[in-house]
Amino acid sequence: MTVETSLHNTPLADVHLSLGAKMVGFGGWNMPLQYESILAEWEHNRKTASLFDCSHMGEFMVKGDPLACGLDRIVTQPIVDMPVNTCRYGAMLNEEGGVIDDLIVYRRGPQDWMIVVNAANIEKDARHIQAHLNSKAHFEDASFKTAKLDLQGPQSREVLKALVPGIEKLSYYTFDQFEINGASCLVSRTGYTGELGYEIYCPWEKCKEIWQNILDNATVKPTGLGVRDVLRVEMCYSLYGHELDESISPLEAGLDKFIDDKKDFIGAKAMAARPGGCGIGYFESRSRKSPRAGNKIFDAAGKEIGVVTSGTFSPALQVGIGIGFVGRPNKDVGVEVFFGDEKNKAAASITKRPFYKNGSLKS
Amino acid sequence: MEIEENFLYTKEHEWVSIEDNIATMGISDYAQEALGDVTYVELPDEETEVEQFEQFVSVESVKAASDIYAPMAGKVIEVNRKLEENPGLVNKDCYGKGWIAKIDVRDMDESTNLMSAEEYRSFLESLEH
């Protein structure tokens, strides 16, 4: 397997190859797709503990008063009232109310912020944020200095507290600084799988050591982006480029909970003025046949009503599952839809999110 | 990479075993490994007529769907219903219990368009480079 030189490598690129990973280009990065069978990796994450290399993601450090420096206007979620050591999910919008990126804001101090963004959008996001912060803010793109490892699964707390005493006190969507292998790391109780888990932000040069330290516990298995996508679709979490992009507003994508409707942020008025409202639907195939991104979606009468944005086989439900913009009233629970193309349609029905209801997330 | 010595093979990695004019087919070890865990097999209807190398089955893995082509022309006379409940048989035993369909062969001469086990082995080696 040759490594494409035009892709960025995380600190673990050679480690993944030595573990037998199939590598794939993702968002401009050379990433592990899978190490063994996707179904085996999925099961290990839902039942035990899995370790993901997410160092490709972007991290920006911002210092400043949220109102005075312009940060508050840039993101849709409320941040002024965030207690220190908490984090919140939200988005940045363009002037038309479409999503530039979804992101998590971490409040490290009264005027000390970390913003975590998708790998594919690092450059675009950095430009946008810097364009809208004023001289009272200090901005640093720390993406290439900051590695991230996600430890996820019902056993993740037991595994991590043996290495990092104190993390067991973290409640959902809170974080703190901990010393791991002699380095100060930010560990948050967050993740993208629907299971109990942690995201470990560490210095780039310490990543390999910390990865190995965690994997020395035989309970943990390395897990790739292939399974990460299956897990997040089972939870109905959006993926930028699929459920979100510059032409889709967060309201249309069902992210109304992450919007502060009391504050004026970039794109707020345009977003509110867009017609249509939430049009996203989550559907379960009536068989093992799975919807795929790009498949058309039809109503019971055969009329084309939308396109699949994400689809996969669900190992939890043992049927195919999919997400797509079907519009109202087609997005209502119980509505019959079909996916595929004009010649080949498979039956499905709209269901309530999430598909997977037994996650250990809030344990 | 396992190859059954007595079977014939296609460039799309199907295998076929012909006995008494009936061709039993499936996908090779190379194919099942490349696909990953099979989650669904869309079997053709019995009585379907197929041409040699015509797409007639679809095999899905967790993240993708792949077309499977008929190694010989004829009429589909039986499909492996066990794959409906247990599509993983294609991974676990691709040359045995993971067989996909049986075709009543129309023209035995078309088997000259297929590769022997040795030719398939060389073909696989050429793919590695």
Residue ending a domain, among A93, A119, A141, is A141
Q: Which residues of B43-78 are buried (b: 16+ CB within 10 A; e: fewer)?
A: bbeeebebebbeebbbbbbbbebbebbbbbbbebee
User: B108 to chain A nearest CA, in Å?
Assistant: 32
Nearest residue on chain B to A313, judged by CA atoms? Answer: B62
Of residues A226, A230, A313, nearest to B60 (C-beta): A313
pLDDT at site A3: 52
Q: Do A28 and A169 reside in the same domain of the chain? A: yes
The residue with tokens 């990695």 is B13
Q: Which domain holds residue A154?
A: 8-56+144-234
pLDDT digits (tens, 9 = 90+) for A59-115: 999 999 999 999 999 999 999 999 999 999 999 999 999 999 999 999 999 999 999
Confidence of residue A264 (pLDDT cuts 50, 70, 90): very high
In chain B, residues with a C-beta closer than 8 Å to the C-beta of A20 are none
Of residues B36, B40, B63, nearest to A288 (C-beta): B40
Residue ending a domain, among A95, A125, A141, is A141
Which CATH number do you get for residue B86? 2.40.50.100
pLDDT digits (tens, 9 = 90+) for A25-51: 999 999 999 999 999 999 999 999 999
Which CATH number do you get for residue A216? 3.30.1360.120
Q: How many CB pairs under 8 A join A and B?
A: 40
| Residue A355 counted as domain residue | no
Q: Do A64 and A101 reside in the same domain of the chain? A: yes
| Residue A37 counted as domain residue | yes
The residue with tokens 């093992």 is A288
Q: Do A220 and A148 reside in the same domain of the chain? A: yes
Q: Do A187 and A312 reside in the same domain of the chain? A: no
Helix (H, G, I), strand (E, B) or coil at A189: coil
Q: How many domains does chain A have?
A: 3
- Cβ neighbours, 10 Å, residue A68: 12
Which CATH number do you get for residue A340? 2.40.30.110
Cβ of B39 within 8 Å of Cβ of A288? The answer is: yes
Q: Do A230 and A179 reside in the same domain of the chain? A: yes
Q: Do A50 and A70 reside in the same domain of the chain? A: no
pLDDT digits (tens, 9 = 90+) for A328-337: 999 999 999 9
Helix (H, G, I), strand (E, B) or coil at B14: strand
Q: What is the pTM of this model?
A: 0.94
B34 touches chain A (CB under 8 A): no
Query: B37, B55, B56: best mutation site toward chain A, by most A Cβ within 10 Å?
Result: B37
Q: Report the candidate in A132, A126, A124, A76 with the shortest Cα–Cα distance to residue A104.
A: A76
Q: Do A89 and A134 reside in the same domain of the chain? A: yes
| Residue B128 counted as domain residue | no
pLDDT digits (tens, 9 = 90+) for B89-109: 999 999 999 999 999 999 999
In chain B, residues with a C-beta closer than 8 Å to the C-beta of A287 are 40
Please give the structure tokens belonging to residue A295.
Answer: 């498949």
Residue ending a domain, among A95, A116, A141, is A141
pLDDT at B129 over 90: no
Cβ of A289 within 8 Å of Cβ of B61? The answer is: no
